[in-house]
A and B are shown apart, each in its own frame.
Chain A
């Protein structure tokens, strides 16, 4: 029994699930970005771009809250940002998945390491890092 647990990551089923998780994440998020992109081009195609100087307030959808609010109003830019957000969370989901598989393996050292990596990412989510 214990030798079976040790081979958890070698288990092809788990590897296939992990691969599928990543692929679904990428395909889903890119589809959302593309839908938002088409709407954005449809409504804004003739406007002029201005990216010469960086302005932190210009994008408008720069927090999860703002993106969700914009999403409810079906704002094209908010839909693109939501797709980007899904894409960002794809590798994060993979870390969560790995933590669970280490837990099943009873490799508590790596459960701790995984939780540490996850907490760094969550800390960067907290918005405190941007002045």
Chain B
């Protein structure tokens, strides 16, 4: 395949991945990696390197919009980044020693999990009950704006959330994705942070986490300019368009259709991994 044709195909695919990824909340990385490996036969190590760059671009791009709303809890973000940056670097160092077929199987499993998380109805468990000593010591409790004025919230089970974030960072470093689905588990379910705060704070952390592993990938030659260029430009422009139409679109049906597609991709990744085709 010529460079020109490859660039055009990847650009179009990455644009779609960014668009659908932002409409469904799944993120672009989890879609672009199967496209590159399954459809175009690119080695998974290159796909991971290109994907992590697109994660930084979309995270920083949308964080710019979120930051102005003033609901990101920078202390929670910074505190949990201790876990995610260490583990992301570990994940990025380890990934090259793993056989591509193992990476494909792990990737497929995370995809299946993300697809399930996408259709499950989320429950906001936030409250302002007395929180633990750790949350007070690290000054994690905060307030956020609602229609009835500023509302206080307390952060729960800080240690458990920290451990879950460590795991999310490992997956992010191993697979080159933002691992948003795992961060939701840590922040919404374990630490019981309100949605508005957890979504923006998780996004705030994603860029920093991805930057830590991206540097490792760059040194190793996993970020190839010929792939990273169309992937980053495509995903970012798709995600930007997505965030603009998201405000006035109902995405429930789209999410279900997309969950089916993602499940199919996941099974394909796992099958190819197990049969050693990747």
List A residues at the B interface (Cβ < 8 Å).
Answer: 9-10, 12, 15-16, 18-20, 22-23, 25-26, 29-30, 33-34, 36-37, 40-41, 44-49, 51-63, 76-77, 80-81, 84-85, 87-92, 94-95, 98, 107, 109-110, 113-114, 116-117, 120-121, 123-125, 127, 129-130
Given contacts A15-B67, A47-B2, A49-B3, contact A120 B226 (CB under 8 A): no
| Contact call B223/A54, Cβ cutoff below 8 A | no
**Chain B interface, DSSP helix/strand/loop, else mixed:** helix
Q: Does B125 lie at the interface of the complex (its beta carbon under 8 Å from any beta carbon of A)?
A: no
Q: Does B25 lie at the interface of the complex (its beta carbon under 8 Å from any beta carbon of A)?
A: no
Given contacts A37-B233, A51-B42, A129-B216, contact A58 B224 (CB under 8 A): yes
| Contact call A46/B2, Cβ cutoff below 8 A | yes
Tell me how many residue pairs across A and B have CB atoms closer than 8 Å. 200
| Contact call A53/B43, Cβ cutoff below 8 A | yes
**Complex formed: what's the CA distance from A90 to B131 in Å?**
34
Query: Which one of B41, B42, B64, B78 contacts A110 once the chains associate, using CB atoms below 8 Å?
Result: B78
Residues of B within 8 A of A88 (CB): 53, 56, 211, 214-215, 218
| Contact call B218/A84, Cβ cutoff below 8 A | yes
Q: Does B225 lie at the interface of the complex (its beta carbon under 8 Å from any beta carbon of A)?
A: yes
Tell me the count of chain B residues lying within 8 A, CB to CB, of chain A: 63
| Contact call A124/B216, Cβ cutoff below 8 A | yes
Kindly specify which of B68-76, B159-167, B180-188, B257-265 makes contact with the partner chain: B68-76
The 8 closest A-B pairs by CB, nearest first: A91-B207, A80-B225, A45-B4, A54-B45, A22-B64, A19-B67, A23-B64, A62-B221
Given contacts A52-B42, A110-B78, A114-B78, contact A30 B2 (CB under 8 A): no
Residues of A within 8 A of B82 (CB): 113, 116-117, 120
Taking the nearest CB of chain B, how far is it from the CB of A92, in angstroms? 5
